[in-house]
Amino acid sequence: MRFTSIAAAALAVVPSALAANFAVNVGQGNTFAFSPTSITGAVAGDTITFTFMSRNHSATTTTFTTPCPPPDGGVAGGFDTGFHSATGTDQPQAVVTLTSADTHWVACRQAAGGHCRMGMTFAVNPTASQTYAQFLANARAS
Ligand SMILES: *[C@@H]1O[C@H](CO)[C@@H](O)[C@H](O)[C@H]1NC(C)=O
């Protein structure tokens, strides 16, 4: 009986899974790119920290088939960091908290979709049937 209560107490202090943070650089090295270009395994409660490293960009959810331009405010169930301008050594950050493990297609909405069409795109949990590579191709063509 004593052993059982110790085991129960030990179980009680086992921490539940902690939320993960994914660090994503935006415009690193003055490129029109997100780095990394996709993340996988993201679940509800996880965060994405976007660090804006050059120019003036956004991280905005859009659609797989018609990525560019991403709509102002993003798509339903998605997010939009708004515009963040990196000047000199100031590299602003925006943190997005995911509310599900859903797939999100993301692009910069600067220049009426111009950055998006240059391939400035990012994916959260792309799938086997909807890949990041196809999303990028859709962006360049849209
Ligand atoms: C960033 O871009 C947006 C949209 O083009 C513009 O409204 C805003 O003034 C820009 N910010 C800076 C600091 O240039």
The per-residue pLDDT for range 17-59, each reduced to its tens digit, is: 689 999 999 999 999 999 999 999 999 999 999 999 999 999 9
Q: What is the model's pTM? A: 0.88
pLDDT reported for residue 17: 64
pLDDT at 134 over 60: yes
Residue 9 pLDDT > 60: no
**CATH number for the domain running over 19-141:** 2.60.40.420
Q: How confident is the model at residue 132 (pLDDT cuts 50, 70, 90)?
A: very high
Does the pLDDT value for residue 8 go beyond 80?
no
Mean pLDDT of all residues in 87-113: 95
Mean pLDDT value across residues 85-109: 95
Instruction: Report the pLDDT value the prediction gives residue 113, as an integer from 0 to 100.
Output: 97
- Ligand 1 atom with the smallest distance to the CA of 87 is 13
Ramachandran region of residue 50, left (φ > 0), alpha (ψ -120 to 50) or beta? beta
Q: What is the dihedral of CA 81, 79, 60, 103, to 10 degrees?
A: 140
Average pLDDT score over the chain: 91
Q: Is pLDDT of 79 > 50?
A: yes
The predicted structure's pLDDT at residue 18: 83
- Mutation test residue for ligand 1: of 54, 55, 85, the one with most atoms within 8 Å of CB: 85
CA angle, residues 22, 125, 138, in degrees to nearest 5 = 115
Nearest CA to ligand 1 atom 11: 85
Cβ of residue 22 lying under 6 Å from some atom of ligand 1: no
Ligand 1 centroid distance, CA of 52 (Å): 13
pLDDT at 10: 47
Which residue has its alpha carbon closest to ligand 1 atom 9?
A: 83
Q: Would the CB of 110 count as within 6 Å of ligand 1?
A: yes
Ligand 1 atom index nearest CA of 85:
13
